Amino acid sequence: MQILFGTLAYLIISFPLAVMWHMKIFREKYIHWQYFGADVKPVLGLASMVVQGVVLSYGYAILQIEHSAVLSGLCYALFMGLFLWSVHVLATMGKNSKVRHFEFFWLETIYLIIQFGLYGLVVSYIF
């Protein structure tokens, strides 16, 4: 049940944040950078987040740590966030020359810090 709640928490945090950040607040920047094409499919992003939420929540559940400590949830989320940051930010910068500058680097880094910071707080309470 905790894995389900952890997954739901990840979705509730991540999907609205992603939509607001990438498609509302900084939409013009991401369009200029060709971060997403003309035919965006948010349902595929949601599906990706379901997989991420399950994997992250299962991973936290099987760790041999004191799950009730907020610091444990934050450390886990920020560590996993660092992994996903390397895949998301650095790989995107490697594949798309339009995003190879500090503005993209910092916007995405701040976005992921918010996302995983919030998830770390919530997952520590769920578990």
Which residues lie below 8 Å from residue 66, measured CB to CB, with a gap of 6+?
A: 72
Query: Between 64 and 77, whose confidence is greater?
Result: 77
Which residues lie below 8 Å from residue 21, measured CB to CB, with a gap of 6+?
A: 107, 111
Mean pLDDT, residues 54-71:
86
Q: Domain-by-domain residue ranges, the chain?
A: 2-126
Using CA atoms in the order 34, 103, 25, 15, what is the torsion angle rounded to 10 degrees?
A: 70
Contact 46, 15 (CB under 8 A): yes
- pLDDT in the model for residue 81: 95
* pTM check: above 0.75: yes
The CA distances from residue 15 to 23, 46, 70, 97, 104, in Å, are 11, 6, 23, 26, 19
- pLDDT in the model for residue 67: 62
